[in-house]
Amino acid sequence: MAGPGPFTVACVQNCASDDLDANLRSVEELVRGAAAAGADLICLPEFYCLLERHDGAYYERGHDEAVHPALAHGRELARELGRWLLLGSIPVRDTGGKVRNRALLISSEGELVARYDKIHLFDVAIRDGQQYRESNSVTPGERAVVAPLPWGRLGLSICYDLRFAHLYRELAHAGAEFLAVPAAFTAKTGAAHWHALLRARAIETGCFVFAPGQCGERPWGRRTYGHSLIVDPWGDVLADGGDDVGFVTARIDPARVGEVRAMIPALTHDRRFSVEDG
> How high is the pLDDT of residue 252?
98
Per-10-residue mean pLDDT of the chain, 278 residues long, equals 87 97 98 98 98 90 95 98 98 95 98 98 77 88 98 98 98 98 96 98 98 96 96 98 98 98 97 92
CB atoms closer than 10 angstroms to residue 263: 10
Which class for 89: exposed (0-12), middle (13-18), buried (19 or more C-beta within 10 A)? buried
Told to judge if 118 belongs to the known catalytic residues of this protein, a careful annotator would answer: yes
CA 177 – CA 148 distance, rounded (Å) = 10
CA 176 – CA 173 distance, rounded (Å) = 7
CA 43 – CA 13 distance, rounded (Å) = 9
Q: Which of 11, 15, 49, 159 is catalytic?
A: 159
Instruction: Name all domains of the chain by residue range, CATH numbers in brackets.
Output: 7-262 (3.60.110.10)
CA 234 – CA 49 distance, rounded (Å) = 32
What ranges make up the beta strands (E) of the chain?
Answer: 7-13, 41-43, 84-93, 99-106, 112-117, 123-125, 131-133, 145-149, 152-156, 178-180, 208-211, 215-217, 223-225, 229-231, 237-240, 246-252
As beta bridge partners, residue 63 has: 92
As beta bridge partners, residue 85 has: 42, 106
What are the residues whose beta carbons fall under 8 Å from the beta carbon of 123, sequence distance 6 or more?
A: 132, 133, 134, 135
Q: Which of 118, 177, 207, 215 is catalytic?
A: 118
Q: Which of 46, 49, 177, 215 is catalytic?
A: 46
Told to judge if 46 belongs to the known catalytic residues of this protein, a careful annotator would answer: yes
Told to judge if 52 belongs to the known catalytic residues of this protein, a careful annotator would answer: no
> How high is the pLDDT of residue 2?
65
